[in-house]
Structures are given as C-alpha cells and as structure tokens.
Amino acid sequence: MRSITLYLSCLLVCLIAACTSNRGQPEDIASAEECPQEQTVALKPENVKLLSLTQEELSVSGNVRKNKPVGYTFEAEAEQELKYQTAEEVCVWFYTPDNQLLSGTVLPTTGKYTVQVAIPQGSANFSLKMSLGTKDSAPDKSPSEKEPRLTTSTTALATPQNSTPNPEKEVAKYYSLINTENYRDGWYKLTVRLREEPELHPKGYDSYTEWWTQINNVDVLSTSLIEQEAQTATVDSEVRYFTQGGRQINQSLRFSFIWDSSSESWLIDRVKRL
C-alpha cells in the first residue's frame, strides 16, 4: 500500500487498506467508527519506551494487537512542532504532559508527551517516523548533504562552547538509543576507555549487546546535574529497567561524562551505582 502521511486530525489517526482515491484527501483516512476517539486500554509500563526526538527523523517499529497497545514517551518544549508519518493500518494518539489529547501539531506546553499506537482488531506490524522542530525551522539537510559522524580510537578533549548540550539530557538520549535497539550508536556514546573495560566488556561490543538484549525497556525517572566543568560533567539519575522476563529493576546511577570535540558531544566515561 502506498505510503500516506498522516496528519493530526480529530485527535486520532488511522489508515484503511481499501483506500483507492488518488487525491490523498482527508476522506482517505479511516473514520472514528474504526478508531475510538480515545484509547480505552491502559498502557502497561513495560510496553512504553522512552525516545529522544530532534529535528532529525527517528523511526520506530513494533507490533500491536487488540487490547495490547504500544506506547512511547518523549520530552518536548512548548511551541515545538511535531511531525510524524506511518503507512500501516493503526490508530495513533498523542497525549500532552497533563494527559490531554493533543490538538494540532504545535505542542502547547513543555514536558513529557505520550504516543499510543493501537489497532481495533487483530494484530499488525507498524513503522512510525517522528521528529520535532520549530514552526519556522529550516528543513533538514538531505542524507547526501549531512556530514559523516566521526568515530576515533582516542577521545579528543576540548573546551565546550556555549552551544554545548546539557549533559543531563544525554542520559535520556543514551537510553533512547537502547530502547530503539540502536545498540551500535549507543556503544559509541561510551568513551574508548569504557568500551575497552575488560570487566564490563570482556568480548567488546558482543558483551554490550548480550546485556542490553536482555532488557526490554529503560525508563529515566529523574536526572540531576551534580557538576559541570569545561571538559567533564557528572549527572545522577534514577532509572528503571524492564527485563525481557518481566522484572522491574530500579537503580540509582552516577554518570561521568567527558566532552569529545570530534563528535561535539558528551561521552559516558564511567557509570557508578549509588
């Protein structure tokens, strides 16, 4: 079925397989009789994943069944514009931080937003693409125009400029990579020293993926900036792991970051359990 960009309309979205109109008008979108005005099945914590949305499009995928919706959460600021699209026959709802259905594409307040994906009958695989921008933001560069991401065998240190990202946000970004099974990028969020730590990663990247594939989802409950200097930062965080076996594990962690000038980002150099 041809890909159709979905718009936030009537506070829910659903495509139908029988769409044949070539005009791409709103009548191609399923009616409210097929998707309820509001999802009535509660999301289970183990089925909710934390994302880190930016202007760069992020793609997530999964499987939904009747009475078993899938959810995502992401932090956003007021006046940012939400963009998303999918091509599957699924219902999608967006909820504001105060648990109200989102109306329009411009976010009304700062906080944690929730995305809920469901299906009225049966089951379906889905792929959902999302991004955040500003109302007047310029379009992203095409893939051919983007500079390649650099990875080096050593960590180059430099004094961060005023545009240095908030190290607190790096915790959520890191776990967002884990929650979307983007383990390779998560691996390169660690310094070379940490990647080569024999007790943690005796088999290198294989040890890293063996551990994270046992985890279904990670929720970041809170973060607190303890210290930030020119080249280092320390952040405390409360996190909750949901294992593939259904267990919940709460941990208090201290992240030590080092600024890497080659990638212009904070890298995790040490993680200590408090």
* CA 71 centroid distance within chain: 11
Region 24-33 average pLDDT: 34
Q: 224 pLDDT exceeds 90?
A: yes
Most confident stretch, 12-16, 49-53, 238-242:
238-242
pLDDT at 104: 84
Question: Percent of the chain having pLDDT more than 70?
Answer: 77
Q: 160 pLDDT exceeds 70?
A: no
Judge whether 270 and 235 are in contact, CB under 8 Å. Answer: no
167-273 CATH choice from 3.10.450.100, 3.40.50.620, 1.20.120.420, 1.20.1050.10: 3.10.450.100
> What is the chain's Cα-based Rg?
20
Judge whether 113 and 95 are in contact, CB under 8 Å. Answer: yes
In the chain, the N- to C-terminal Cα span, in Å, equals: 51
pLDDT at 163: 60
Instruction: Label the pairing between strands 123-134 and 80-86.
Output: antiparallel
Computed over every residue of the chain, the mean pLDDT equals 78
**CA 231 to CA 89: how far, in whole Å?**
48
pLDDT at 136: 57
pLDDT at 130: 92
Pick the closest to residue 231 from 154, 156, 142, 181 (CA basis).
156
| Lowest mean pLDDT, pick from 18-27, 125-134, 236-245 | 18-27
Amino acid at 188: Y
Pick the closest to residue 4 from 15, 13, 17 (CA basis).
15
Helices (H), the chain: 167-179, 183-187, 192-195, 205-212
pLDDT at 155: 38
**CA 174 to CA 176: how far, in whole Å?**
5
Residues of the chain with CATH 2.60.120.380: 26-134
Which is more confident, 19 or 132?
A: 132
pLDDT at 154: 36
Region 55-67 average pLDDT: 85
Judge whether 172 and 221 are in contact, CB under 8 Å. Answer: no
Judge whether 120 and 35 are in contact, CB under 8 Å. Answer: yes
**pLDDT range class, residue 164, cuts 50, 70, 90:** confident
Judge whether 267 and 71 are in contact, CB under 8 Å. Answer: no
Which is more confident, 35 or 21?
A: 35
Region 144-157 average pLDDT: 37
Q: 253 pLDDT exceeds 60?
A: yes
pLDDT at 103: 83
Region 203-211 average pLDDT: 93
Residues of the chain with CATH 3.10.450.100: 167-273
Residues 6+ apart with CB under 8 A from 163: none
Residues 6+ apart with CB under 8 A from 37: 10, 11, 12
Which is more confident, 32 or 16?
A: 32
Residues 6+ apart with CB under 8 A from 75: 52, 111, 112, 113, 169, 172
26-134 CATH choice from 1.20.1260.10, 3.40.50.150, 2.60.120.380, 3.40.640.10: 2.60.120.380
Region 108-116 average pLDDT: 91
Q: 208 pLDDT exceeds 90?
A: yes
pLDDT at 133: 86
Joined together, the tokens standing for residue 146 give 């983007």
Q: 158 pLDDT exceeds 50?
A: no
